[in-house]
Amino acid sequence: MERVLTIGDIMWLPPAEIWHERMSRRDPLRKVFGDLLRRPGILLMAGSLSNYLSARVVQREFGGVANSAATNEYFALWTATLDDTATGATAGEANYGSYARTQIGTGNNQTDAWNAATGTTTSTVTNKNAITCPTSTSGSNTITYVMVADGATIGAGNSLCWASVSSTVINNGDTPKVNASALSIVQD
């Protein structure tokens, strides 16, 4: 019998050192993040936009470099540490039997992948539909990080953002899953 493992609510927030520094100051973000900490059902994890995506945003908005969003985005599982310098080729991607990156949405330039952003001082987008990864057919992996990448091919593409997650063991017969609206990307 197939066992579906839900990888909790995932939210990208500033790295821990920035988080703690901001929370120790009396600034407007303290109220926003403090409220998030008190919301039930949210598992706050360290994470960030990748250097690749951060550069593209700055280039597009301030550098006069035209670029467009990825045609499709993919959810990937990692067994090794990720950081802002990670790429789709960073070592440690899951390798259990039948593992593959999972497309978020069904295409259409991501219009069916993400809910509209909410918030005015802090913007949040969430996944519209559940993201169900392939069921493991052999082997096991301990998942400690996740990534949203712009390519389906394992070992290729660019990291868009990443987050640490509670250590989750994927065994033969397990199906990793992120419920609808449980994957949040927050930007302030």
Which 3 state secondary structure label does DSSP give 39? coil
Query: Which residues span the domain enclosing 110?
Result: 3-187
More confident residue, 187 or 97: 97
When pLDDT is averaged across residues 48-54 and rounded to a whole number, the result is 89
More confident residue, 39 or 155: 155
Model pLDDT, residue 181: 87
Could you write out the DSSP letters of every residue in 101-148? -EEESS-GGGTTTBPPPB-SSSEEEEBSS-EEPPPP-S--EEEEEEEE
Model pLDDT, residue 112: 81
- Alpha carbons within 13 angstroms on the beta-carbon side of residue 14 total 13
Model pLDDT, residue 45: 58
The token duo for 110 is 């991501």
Average pLDDT, the chain: 78
Q: How many Å apart are CA 17 and CA 3, to the nearest integer?
A: 36
User: In the chain, how many domains are there?
Assistant: 1
Q: DSSP code of 82?
A: -
| pTM above threshold 0.85 | no
Question: Per-residue pLDDT tens for 122-136?
Answer: 888 888 988 999 999
